[in-house]
Amino acid sequence: MFRAALLIAAVVLATDQATKYWAESALSDGQVISLIGDVLRLRLVYNPGAAFSIGSAYTWIFAVFAAAAVVAVTVVARRVTSRAWAVALGLVLGGAATHLLDRLFREPGFARGHVVDFIDYAGFFVGNVADIALVLGVGVVMLLNLRGVPLRARAGEPREQVPSDS
């Protein structure tokens, strides 16, 4: 299942970086593309902080947190035998890894890079594909925890044992 998690993470990373490349080339002149009126638009923003640009002065700390998340999720994903957990952790790993790459290698410099955001949700916040993967992955992790689905099936049990609702 580790390979599945890595494959999902790689797809998230490639999709996120490709869409950021597109956004930088198509939206860099201040262009805004409305998809659903003012509810969903595409506009380019460089975010030095976390969600809602919180902590903009501490970009390097977000690089450290992203690196720690990548290491921690990779360690956990290596032990997973559950398909659902592999999907969830792959989504989280891909989102964290692509944010780490932004922090490390984008302007204004190493470990101070700004994340490229371009999906504007009604002016509430602007995100990217990695954010979507992170939210979905964390949501699945929470659901799996609530359902009591183990990371690893015990010997002799089916790989995807989900507790009954009784």
Phi first, then psi, for residue 36 (nearest 5°) are: -135, 80
Could you give the CA distance from residue 81 to residue 154 in angstroms, rounded to a whole number?
10
**Residue-wise DSSP of 94-142:** HHHHHHHHHHHHSTT-TTTPPEEEEEEETTTEEE-HHHHHHHHHHHHHH
> Any long-range contacts for 154-163 (C-beta under 8 Å, 24+ apart)?
159/81, 159/82, 159/83, 160/82, 160/83, 160/84
Q: Of 16, 102, 120, 131, which one is the catalytic site residue?
A: 131
Phi first, then psi, for residue 18 (nearest 5°) are: -65, -40
Q: Of 16, 102, 117, 120, which one is the catalytic site residue?
A: 117
Could you give the CA distance from residue 17 to residue 19 in angstroms, rounded to a whole number?
5
Told to judge if 131 belongs to the known catalytic residues of this protein, a careful annotator would answer yes
Told to judge if 165 belongs to the known catalytic residues of this protein, a careful annotator would answer no
Residues involved in catalysis: 117, 131
